[in-house]
Every structure is written in structure tokens, then in C-alpha cells.
Amino acid sequence: MNFSKSATTAALLTGLMASSAVADVKTKTVTFENEGALMSGTLYLPQNHDGKPLPTVVVTGAWTSVQEQMPANYARQMAERGFAAFTFDFRGWGKSGDLPQNTRFVENPKAKTEDIRQAFKFVSTLAEVDKSRINGLGICASAGYMVDAASGNKLVDRVGLVAPWLQNKEIVETVYGGKEGVAGLVDLSRKAEKAGGQIIPAAGPEGAKGVLMPIGGYYYEAERGAIPEYDNKWNNIGWEGWLTYHPADNAQRLDKPLAIVHSESAAIPQGVKTFLKDFAGDATAKWLENVSQFDFYDNPQDVIRASDTIAEHFRAGGNS
């Protein structure tokens, strides 16, 4: 994967958090259900919120992530810009309940898409939310899930994607070792499912063995993504569902205005280009220079620039 090690330092991350603190965003912990599982979510509001319904953004993050990681960074940014924002843990991750058969840590595109749909339904019931101005923001792997959850969904006004990982069969084979590599991972997935699961560390130091992401960087650095809330686990059951999921081919499904922020230096930019080529609707694409995938998660300058573009897109919707 094109996850180059970021130059972001702890000081820069502190700056991002400080910018949120200045705005005094307030949060509220909530729970909701999907298919019998209790799910944990957080509602972000501007500190000066007067109780009136606000345009709202449901924010979802990268694979294996929990809501306190990059989703929280973007939720704070949206709240600073006058939106309500909502993050949550998918079933089987973080503080949320399990998938069926008590399964956890499976990157399941179908299940995660259904979780996002349920999140849209849930936020539409909240007094703080303007039901005519609910938007979806997907980051990295969840960009595809967000597209699928928003497509044909009358609750959703607009969609934004940041550093989207939009793959198709060709990209999957390029990233995961060709047809032979993909076949091997699918076989591993089926064996893990037959065994009732096979859980390995999600992230490790550069060159580590037996982990999903032996690349260092965001997920392994304590001052970045390796926060206490992060599960840092991957269930090998998830490989088949992930590798056979091709959101780059789903552009024709989307019937909402779209904004994308990405970089040629981030992950699989060709997936975005493939998606946009087939998208027939209203689309805005902003390409930032020399921004890595991980920088989009927490580098203050890049998060702020991406948030500005996405917020402008969402403000143009609804009744405005």
C-alpha cells in the first residue's frame, strides 16, 4: 500500500488538537443499535450551539480504525465550522458490539455500509440535527462504504471523501501481489473463517512479521494513531470480503453531489480517477501536492485544507 511515513511530528499533532480546543467543541456520547448490536457514537457540536438543528456530517474513517482517530479530527473540524458531526465505532470495532457469531475485527464492507446507513437513520432522530442537511464524509477505506450507504438514500444530502481508497479488481491485484497473491489471501480468509477467526496485530514497526501493516507510521506511533482506544487487531476472515470489494466501479450508483480531496502522493490516486470518470453527477475534486495518506489523517495543515473544501461543499447543499 502507498502509506508513506509522514513527516508529521508530535508538535504538529498538538497544534491540531490545540486548534480544536480554541474553538471549544463540545461532545456528547450516545448509543444506537444495528441488527441487535449496541453501537457507540459521539455527537460533536459547536460550543456556542443554541439548540437549533444544524447541518450535520456523519464521519467515518480508515480500515481498522476507531472513532477517536482520524474521524474525531475531522468531526472537530466540521463542528468548528458550524456543523454538527457524528462519529461511531463500527460493529466489531472499538466500543461497539459484535458482528454475528461474536465476531470482531473483520473488515466487512457490507456490514460497515449497513452501519453507516443506520448511523444516518439515527442522527436524523436527534434534535440537534437538521434532517434536510445530513451529509456523509468518508476517509480512506470507508469512502467506498460511504458512497454505497449514501447512494439512493433520501436521508443524505451530499457526500465528501478525503484520501479515498477506491479500488477495483485491477488495483487490488496491483496492490496485493497479482492474481496469485489475491488468491492466497482469499484462501487464508476462508481458512480463518473455518477456524472461527484468526486475529493478528493490525500495525507494527517497520518490517515487522505477522502483522497487517508492517509499515510503521500513523497506526504504530503513540503520538498519532496508536491511542489507547485503538484495537490494533485484524481478523484474517476479512480478506475475502475486502479484496472482492470494488468501490471504484460504483460511481454510477451515487446520486449525490460529491467533493473529493486527495493527492497524487497518497494511496491509489488512480482509483479516484477511475471513479470520477464514471461519475455522472456534480463533482468537485481538489488535488493537494505532496500529501501522504497518513498526513490526511492528522497533519494539521492538510486536515484543515481538506476540511475547508469539504465544508464548503456541504454548505452549498440543502436550503442554503
pLDDT over 70 at 128, yes or no? yes
Q: Does pTM top 0.85 for this prediction?
A: yes
pLDDT value at residue 320: 41
Distance CA 65, CA 89 (A): 8
- Grid cell locating 217: 507510521
Say if 142 falls within a structural domain: yes
Within a domain: 162: yes
Say how many C-beta atoms besides its own lie within 10 A of residue 250's C-beta: 18
Q: Is residue 216 part of a domain?
A: no
**Residue 47 CB partners (closer than 8 Å, separation 6+):** 23, 24, 25, 26
Residue 231 lies in a domain: no
Q: Which domain holds residue 20?
A: 10-168+246-315
**Locus of grid cell 440543502:** 318
Q: Tell me: the pLDDT tens digits for 215-241?
A: 888 999 999 999 999 999 999 999 999
**Residue 212: inside a domain, yes or no?**
no
Domain membership of residue 122 (yes or no) is: yes
Residue 223: φ, ψ to 5°: -80, 0
The reply to whether 47 falls in a domain is yes
Q: Which helix (H) or strand (E) holds 301?
A: helix 300-315
Q: Tens digits of per-residue pLDDT, 294-304? A: 999 999 999 99
Total number of domains in the chain:
1
Quick one: CA dihedral 230, 111, 273, 169, positive or negative?
Answer: positive
Residue 232: Cβ within 10 Å count:
20
Is 232:219 a contact under the CB 8 Å cutoff? yes
Assigned C-alpha cell, 275 = 471513479
CA distances from residue 53 to 128, 162, 217, 297 in whole angstroms, order as listed: 4, 25, 39, 28
Q: Mind listing the pLDDT tens digit for each residue in 261-291?
A: 999 999 999 999 999 999 999 999 999 999 9
CATH code of the domain in which 280 resides: 3.40.50.1820
**CA 10 from centre of chain:** 22
Average pLDDT over residues 233-250: 98
DSSP 3-state of 232: coil
Q: Hey, what's the cell of 248? A: 471504484
First and final C-alpha spacing in the chain: 40
Tell me the DSSP string of 122-140. HHTT-TTEEEEEEEEEEET
Q: Is residue 233 part of a domain?
A: no
Task: Report, as an integer, the average pLDDT of 106-120.
Answer: 98
Burial of 88 (0-12, 13-18, 19+ CB in 10 A): buried
